[in-house]
Amino acid sequence: MSSRLPKLVAFDLDYTLWDLWIDTHVNPPIRRVGNAINELRDRHNHKIAFYRDVPEVLHRLREGGVTIAACSRTHAPDLARKALGLLLVPPAAGHKDAAPTPAVQFFDQLEIYPGSKIKHFKELHKKTGLPYSEMLFFDDEHRNREVESLGVTFCLVSSGVDDRSFERGLAEWRKRHPVEVAEDASASAAADEDEDEGWTMNVHDS
């Protein structure tokens, strides 16, 4: 199976990366207690945290050179940005001695404001220059499937992003874009043929 990744992966925030509505369930001010990893508290001490698998998903995308975007239609954009700035993401597996990273540093693009997600993705397209076919979007609301009219691949997550839903989204994107995947395979095959030809010429020359 191809390991090719989209050039851009976008995530909704509420009930996609964290299990709450930032504009409804959270009472500011929000704060991080000391150096708590993946945990904030609001005025009433309610917890704000990414779903368990989200940190590793973010690390995987960053290591793969993928542009990461947040696309939220929340009515509390400033509070959402504040939460992303305060949340500390633990280091990647196998790098436990590394320092935690503020969540916002994983995101290359932040489109956080009320309104149709169509607008969010048109802005992403304008700012990044990437084609919609190279975009994969994870969201918990059916209505936001409308972005598919642009050519974005949409993946509905019912209980937040986890390893399984992430792989499902990747599989759907690869299924919809077999030409690109096939081109990758052809390039690899061509490289192998060139190696074989080089080896044969060396044998004949010796």
CB 83 within 8 A of CB 118: no
Q: Active site residue: 14, 42, 139, 140, which one?
A: 14
Q: Active site residue: 12, 42, 139, 140, which one?
A: 12
**Length of the chain measured in residues:** 206
CB 168 within 8 A of CB 152: no
Residues 62 and 106: their CA atoms lie apart, in Å, by: 7
Residues 51 and 74: their CA atoms lie apart, in Å, by: 18
Residues 2 and 49: their CA atoms lie apart, in Å, by: 32
3-state DSSP of 49-111 = CECCCHHHHHHHHHHCCCEEEEEECCCCHHHHHHHHHHCEECCCCCCCCCCCEEHHHHCCEEE
Task: Check if 205 is active-site.
Answer: no
Task: Check if 12 is active-site.
Answer: yes
3-state secondary structure of 33: coil
Known catalytic residues are 12, 14
